[in-house]
Amino acid sequence: MKGVTLTLLLLPILAQLIVAPAPAQQAPASAADLAAITQRGQALEAYDQASWHGTDAAQAAAGKNTPGLRYYIAQKTATGWVVDFGNLDAAGATFLTRIEAQSPDGQKFTVQVFATPRSDTGFLVAAAHAIATAEATFKPVSGFHYNVVVLPNPDKTLYVYLYPGQTDANVFPVGGDERFTISPDGLAILDAHVMHHSVLAIPVTSNGATAVAQVRSVVVADVPQDTDVFHVLARKPEIPDYVVAQGQMYLIDVDGSIKYLGPAKKP
């Protein structure tokens, strides 16, 4: 954990805490549950990075004012990342890709601009519908720009995540996010899981001090959330988070792994 211990959180201490009435203490999550949360958080961060760098490359190649592109959808393939920019046709049965960005590592992209949109009737159609389905229900926190991620599940359902994106290098927004489980065709919400209610706009530094860890609480569930892992992975500089979830303390390290630390001490 890069030399940080539980007794030395900040230099000086800088703890960000979502305050809410403390629920009854729950049993700790299993190792399998924590590993699954880590995996989803890592997938979120990889998608976020790919869509970010893919969008930058697409804008550089096609211009920032390319009109009418409603969707950007990233996919991890056997050869790397592909980000498609385009729209559904009028019938909602075909995805029309205007720009495609490809990368073997999710960082450096090559871009192809199609004079005639390329047609797709598979994953991109379902993903576009899933985004529209989730956004029609989601209630964003005002004042923040939201990112969207679509991840396929082994059972063909889709996870759609909506969370505030970082638009200021000095402020990292945390919270106000939701995960939707969407049917394989993208048209029906099977589950809606609020991960955090409010948004904390956390400064990267405070009075000249740089945080070396942060402490937050989860009030909607008894485990850390997928976006808790994502935030640790995406935030720069890299620092771990201590997360209190219904009376239990967890450590999310900078690689996204989660460790159970025991019952949280009462203040």
Q: How confident is the model at residue 168 (pLDDT cuts 50, 70, 90)?
A: confident
Mean pLDDT confidence for 23-47: 86
Which pLDDT value is given to residue 208? Answer: 52
Q: Which residue, 148, 169, 93, 96, is CA-closest to 126?
A: 93
Who has greater pLDDT, 172 or 19? 172
Please say if the pLDDT value at position 151 is more than 80.
yes
Please say if the pLDDT value at position 8 is more than 50.
no
Q: Where along the chain do its domains lie?
A: 71-122
186 in helix, strand or coil? coil
Which pLDDT value is given to residue 64? Answer: 63
Which pLDDT value is given to residue 40? Answer: 98
Q: How confident is the model at residue 62 (pLDDT cuts 50, 70, 90)?
A: confident
Integer Cα distance of 60 and 74 in angstroms: 18
168 in helix, strand or coil? strand
Residue-wise pLDDT for 182-221, tens only, equals 999 999 999 999 999 989 888 776 555 556 667 778 878 8
Angle, helices 226-234/31-62, rounded to nearest 10 degrees: 50
What's the sign of the alpha-carbon dihedral 234, 235, 237, 241?
Answer: negative
What does the block give as tokens for 54?
């893919």
Question: What percent of the chain clears pLDDT 90, i.e. is strictly above it?
Answer: 65
Residue-wise pLDDT for 95-127, tens only, equals 999 999 999 999 999 999 999 999 999 999 999
Integer Cα distance of 173 and 165 in angstroms: 7
Which pLDDT value is given to residue 16? Answer: 40
Mean pLDDT confidence for 174-189: 96
Who has greater pLDDT, 65 or 85? 85
CA angle (224 as vertex; 223, 225 as ends), nearest 5: 115
SS (H, E, C) 84-152: EEEEECCCCCCEEEEEEEEECCCCCCEEEEEEEEEEECCHHHHHHHHHHHHHHHCCCCCCCCEEEEEEE
Q: For tokens 């740089």, what's the residue? A: 210
Q: Give the β-pairing of 214-218 and 241-245.
A: parallel
* Side chain identity at residue 142, one-letter code: S
- Residues near 206 by Cβ (< 8 Å), separated by ≥ 6? 14
What does the block give as tokens for 175?
């919270």
Please say if the pLDDT value at position 169 is more than 90.
no
Please say if the pLDDT value at position 23 is more than 70.
no
Neighbours of 15 (CB within 10 A): 12
List residues bridging with 228 in a β-sheet: none
Neighbours of 91 (CB within 10 A): 6
Q: Say what the pTM is.
A: 0.86
39 in helix, strand or coil? helix
Which pLDDT value is given to residue 74? Answer: 97
Q: How confident is the model at residue 63 (pLDDT cuts 50, 70, 90)?
A: confident
Residue-wise pLDDT for 70-81, tens only, equals 999 999 999 999
